[in-house]
Structure 1
Amino acid sequence: MGRKRKGRAISGWLVVDKPAGLTSTAVVNKVRWAFGAAKAGHAGTLDPEATGVLAIALGEATKTVPYITDALKAYRFTVRLGQATNTDDAEGEVIAQSDLRPSDDRIKDALNGFVGEIQQVPPKFSAVKIDGQRAYKLARDGEDFEVEARPLWVEELVMTDRPDADHVELEMVCGKGGYVRSIARDLGEVLGCHGHVLRLRRIWSGPFDAEHGLSLDEIDRMAKTPELDSHLLPLEVGLADLPEARCTPENATKLRNGNPAMVLTTDAEYGDDCWASLDGRAVAVGVFKSGLLHPSRVFVHDD
């Protein structure tokens, strides 16, 4: 029998506007402490120097993390043209330089090649695993290795400003697993001038928006108070991209016990993931087949 976690059985989502200089894990730990929560996790890592939306799940909301991780996300970032670095961002060492500076039209034309289903090679200084080890550890140790390309869906990539010849500001909407640093590196290569990310901000992630995020100073100020609790969003927000299926109290009990059960009105089609609700609260997530929901995750509410 597993040991019971210490802390409050509190569930929901908190939107944090992450500052530069902290890891995503450090922010999760701060939020968990502030709520005195038993369990916490985040949906989508941000690099330490990146800012913006970091959605933190508490308690039962952690079961909805995969659906936020899979959702579209938007980034606003600045690319420094003329320099490549070994980390593909401003934290690394400059490894190549160029005096070439492409025109605005040339940049806009090149961006078209990064829209749709693309193949992207993650940075060597990233958390991808190479033979069981993190790539960044191998890179720091000076190991010679290659990172395999992987597919990425890019919904949109546009130039929003060109403040000077050396810098271009971009916004990107993409799916799961995108590395903005790779976009900057590869754009620089296509343009023939090199490039790396100078600044990066995630402006929204699924249903969560940076404008509604709390700063760490605000979280510190409200820590362990009902005021902080009032900023917690219901766990159901994490299921916003899935069809909802209402169920009766009797069938809710079946679902909570892990058994398939009949659900009522839903927009889900055969084989779709959807979530069952009772009086607006999530009961379970699963696969919809012929009027039945086959649960894969069930929710135990704190009350």
Structure 2
Amino acid sequence: MGRKRKGRAVHGWLVVDKPAGVTSTAVVNKVRWALGAQKAGHAGTLDPDATGVLAVALGEATKTVPYITDALKCYRFEVRLGASTTTDDASGEVIETSDARPTDAEIESALAAYRGDIMQVPPQFSAVKVDGERAYDIAREGEVMELAARPLWVDSLDLIERTGPDTVLLEMVCGKGGYVRSIARDLGADLGCLGHVAWLRRTWSGPFEAEAALPFDQVDALAQTPELDTHIQPLELGLEDLPMLPCAADGAAKLRNGNPGMVFSSDVDYGEEAWAALDGKAVAIGTYRSGELHPSKVFQTFQS
């Protein structure tokens, strides 16, 4: 028999407004400690210098992390023109400068190439793996790598404001795996002026918005108190992009045992991924076939 996890069986999402200078892992560890939770993870890393939405999944909500990771996300960021850095952001060393400065019209025109399906080369300082090692570990040793380009869907990329002679504010909505630092680097290169990210903020991620996020310092202030629990959002929010299929108690019992269970459907196609709910609470995720959901993931929140 397996060892029982220490801590409380807490299920749901705690959405944190991450400050600059803190790693995503540190935020997750703080949230898990503050809630005394058995299990926690995040849906999409933010660079240490980045701020904004970091959605922390607790307990059974960790099973929905892939759906938030795959969801669209929105970033506001300022690009500093005239210099490239080792990290493609302000934390790195300047490696090249340029006196060229594009006009707003030139920037607007260049942005068109970064919308839709694009191929993007990750920054040298990134978490991608190269021969089993993280790229940032290799980069710290001074080695320059040829990283493979990766596909990225950019839903929108807009010029918001020219904030100064050397800076421009942009907003991007993109899919999974996007590097804002690569956008700044490549845009600066295309414009012939060079560029890097001055600051970056994730304003929303899937259903989670920065305006409703809990400031990180409040996680500490409310640690180990019932008030912190009131900020936990339902795990079902992680399933908003999947169709929901109601089920009865007998169907839920079968699904919770890992067996196909009867669900009620009117517009879900055969073979489509969906989730079953009993009284609005998630029971399982699976594949819909002929009136039944065949589960691939089962939620055990009823035991908590």
Whether these two folds match at TM > 0.5 is yes
Q: Deviations over 1:87-122 (max 9, x none)?
A: 100011111111000000000010011000000000
Distance in 1 (CA, whole Å) between partners of 2:6 and 2:261 is 33
Q: Which piece of structure 1 moves more, 266-275 or 111-120?
A: 266-275
| 1:149-228 map, 5 Å | 149-228=149-228
TM-score by length of 2: 0.98
CA contact (8 A) 1:243 1:267 kept: no
Distance in 1 (CA, whole Å) between partners of 2:92 and 2:120 is 20
Distance in 2 (CA, whole Å) between partners of 1:104 and 1:230 is 45
CA contact (8 A) 1:246 1:266 kept: no
Distance in 1 (CA, whole Å) between partners of 2:250 and 2:197 is 54
Residue in structure 2 matched with residue 25 of structure 1 by the alignment? 25
Residue in structure 1 matched with residue 49 of structure 2 by the alignment? 49
Residue in structure 2 matched with residue 272 of structure 1 by the alignment? 272
Distance in 2 (CA, whole Å) between partners of 1:98 and 1:287 is 54
Residue in structure 2 matched with residue 283 of structure 1 by the alignment? 283
Q: Deviations over 1:234-275 (max 9, x none)?
A: 111111111000111111111111112221025422222110
CA contact (8 A) 2:43 2:55 kept: yes
Residue in structure 1 matched with residue 263 of structure 2 by the alignment? 263
Question: How many percent identity over aligned positions?
Answer: 68
- In the TM superposition, residue 291 of structure 1 has moved relative to its aligned partner by 2.2
Q: Helix, strand or coil for the counterpart of 2:250?
A: helix
1:13 corresponds to 2:9: no
Q: Deviations over 1:19-74 (max 9, x none)?
A: 00000000000000110001000000000000000000111111110110000000
Q: Judging changes above 3 Å, is the alpha-carbon distance between structure 1 residues 266 and 72 closer, same or farther for their aligned structure 2 residues? A: farther
Residue in structure 1 matched with residue 129 of structure 2 by the alignment? 129
Q: Judging changes above 3 Å, is the alpha-carbon distance between structure 1 residues 144 and 107 closer, same or farther for their aligned structure 2 residues? A: closer
CA contact (8 A) 2:124 2:144 kept: no
Distance in 2 (CA, whole Å) between partners of 1:267 and 1:198 is 47
Q: Which consecutive residues of structure 1, in runs of 5 or more, have no partner in the other structure?
A: none
Q: Which amino acid aligns with 1:232?
A: I
Residue in structure 2 matched with residue 59 of structure 1 by the alignment? 59
CA contact (8 A) 1:244 1:267 kept: no
Q: Which amino acid aligns with 1:47?
A: D
- Deviating 4+ runs (over 3 angstroms): none
Count of aligned positions: 303
Distance in 1 (CA, whole Å) between partners of 2:212 and 2:180 is 23
Residue in structure 2 matched with residue 70 of structure 1 by the alignment? 70
Q: Helix, strand or coil for the counterpart of 2:78?
A: strand
Distance in 2 (CA, whole Å) between partners of 1:47 and 1:266 is 43
CA contact (8 A) 1:85 1:94 kept: yes
Q: Judging changes above 3 Å, is the alpha-carbon distance between structure 1 residues 204 and 133 closer, same or farther for their aligned structure 2 residues? A: same
Q: Helix, strand or coil for the counterpart of 1:232?
A: coil
Q: Deviations over 1:126-152 (max 9, x none)?
A: 000001110000111123421100100
Q: Which amino acid aligns with 2:203?
A: I
Q: Helix, strand or coil for the counterpart of 1:60?
A: helix
Distance in 2 (CA, whole Å) between partners of 1:162 and 1:175 is 25
Q: Helix, strand or coil for the counterpart of 2:282?
A: strand
| 1:89-128 map, 5 Å | 89-128=89-128
1:229 corresponds to 2:229: yes
Q: Helix, strand or coil for the counterpart of 2:118?
A: strand
Q: Which amino acid aligns with 1:278?
A: L
- In the TM superposition, residue 177 of structure 1 has moved relative to its aligned partner by 0.3
Q: Which amino acid aligns with 1:81?
A: L
Q: Helix, strand or coil for the counterpart of 2:214?
A: coil
Distance in 1 (CA, whole Å) between partners of 2:292 and 2:121 is 41
- In the TM superposition, residue 233 of structure 1 has moved relative to its aligned partner by 0.5
Q: Judging changes above 3 Å, is the alpha-carbon distance between structure 1 residues 267 and 252 closer, same or farther for their aligned structure 2 residues? A: same
Q: Which amino acid aligns with 2:140?
A: R
RMSD between aligned residues: 1.0
CA contact (8 A) 2:271 2:287 kept: yes
